[in-house]
Structure 1
Amino acid sequence: MSVLELEGWKHSYSGKVRDLYLPVSGEQDRVLVVASDRISAFDQVLSTEVPDKGKILTQLSLWWFSQLEVPHHVLASTVQDGVPEAVLGRAMICRNLQMFPVECIVRGYLTGSGLLEYRANQTVCGLPLPEGLSDGSRLSEPIFTPSAKAEVGEHDENIDFAAVVAAVGQEHAETLRSSTLKIYQRAEEIARQRGIILADTKVEFGLDSDGVVTLGDEVLTPDSSRFWDAALWQPGQAQPSFDKQYVRDWLRSAASGWDGQGTPPELPNDVVERTRDRYVEAYQKLTGQGF
């Protein structure tokens, strides 16, 4: 995993996709967030990158931040405001938040790990759901289904609201839940107007220097959300999605030769190209802008 040398900034941390840099001057109240072209699947960072993925994630996040009426961490995204030329388009200067140890997830549709729990217990994160739901079913109302953050390479663990309260306190837990649901409801409406279903999404929050609960990280991208084509939505089956579905499908296929153990193989060019196309399509459909 290569780290860029950026004038005025020193590398601080690398996640699956993003690299964080702090000012060389020693200021602690801001951070440079750089989205790479790395892609992960099954909790592993793959050796193959997807061209322009970092720019798409950053530009889509910036667009969504401008649509949402919640405090967020973005301070600047231009060279004039201090973003290094080398990472222009894929980087944001942000408030350096004290992040909560919780992945804030909201589901408007039943699929993924929520579907697995529902089939076993008729619940999701301890919340009871009605009988008769299937893969892709729309829920009567969105539900807050948090998870505990895991280290890179480990699985996030679904938790109930009581565990969130234990981790961050009652007041913060209620703010995280209400803010996450507010974001989903606003974004779901915007996406639906553009012919896209927002099935679920993950957001993260932290405290700024004044103690304000603030939206951080990325928001409403194909990496953090399930976007489906509304015209193709059909409950009872897996839905085609605007994300790294091609990557997951290929890794599961016999063609990859990978059994799920050890390091995943490099991706073939056609899988990379089709994945990039889906990210671009999601950006263009949602924003109405070309990429």
Structure 2
Amino acid sequence: MQATLSQLLHIHQMIDPIDDIISLCQRSCELLAQVLHLPDQVLYLNNTNNQLQQVAAAGAKFAPGTGVLSPLCLAHGEGVVGQAALHARSLCITDTRLIPNYVCDDASRSAELSVPIVYQGEIIGVLDAEHAQAGFFGQAQQQFTEAFAAILGPRLANLIVRPRMTSRQPFFSAGSRGEQQHSIVAENWLTQAEFNSTLLQALKHLYTERLWQRLPLQRLALLQQTKANTALAQGALKHQLVEAIAVMRQHTATALWGNILHARYIDKQDQLSLADQQYMAFSTLRRHQQLAQQHLLQQLWQMELLSR
């Protein structure tokens, strides 16, 4: 399990600098195929027609310089991929010959694993892998892919929303005096690195708000309704952090991470005791905690962008 966590953290670090949605999808497929030793890995995204379209692949479906070969487009409910999206749950198929609505892509394969990428209840896409060996996929591959999908969801949502944010800039940069003032304020928003540092400090000192006084809370779009009152801003930020952790605990793929963050920062439990409680080595707990923090920050960063 320690090696698996290290690999998951490594994948996260590898894709973190990528700022293009197709490049992010392609690299994700390649890394996931490497870690799980897969001959085939495909990523579908929801298109504007609410259909699942292949946008990236590793293995036989990908050609350098060309991209996805003969990309499929599936309706929600169509094939294993469509069923995973329709019901918002992973499907681990032991033998596709027993599945009446199996959709053959470039070649018929016996085993299939489809994991939906979900963000705030919305289906963004599906990670789909197939293998010639019946029963190839098991619980370990499914859990790893689900954990990766939980990391990937906020990243994809972030990149999807950016064009909308860009299209709003002319509106803010011209017009009435009030709009111009909005533009000036918007230019002073925190960068993502500053945002992450601010929220991590707030999380680590959740019950000592006086230590938040040096944090640039007035530059958080999440708190733009409370900027005139420092106490209200601190209370609002605490609520955002606690609520986001609660949401993580409600979803299977992120429940462990949410529980760790809740125990560490809300219940103030020390790491050694928490490692014993979770039956983990201390190093394993640290890796989980780091992944949990990164997932939490991605979720909140997406909310921050939508508030600007």
Same fold (TM over 0.5): no
Structure number with the higher helix fraction is 2
User: TM-score when scaled to structure 2?
Assistant: 0.23
Structure number with the higher strand fraction is 1
User: TM-score when scaled to structure 1?
Assistant: 0.24
Structure number with the bigger relative contact order (C-alpha 8 A, sep ≥ 6) is: 1
Larger radius of gyration: 2
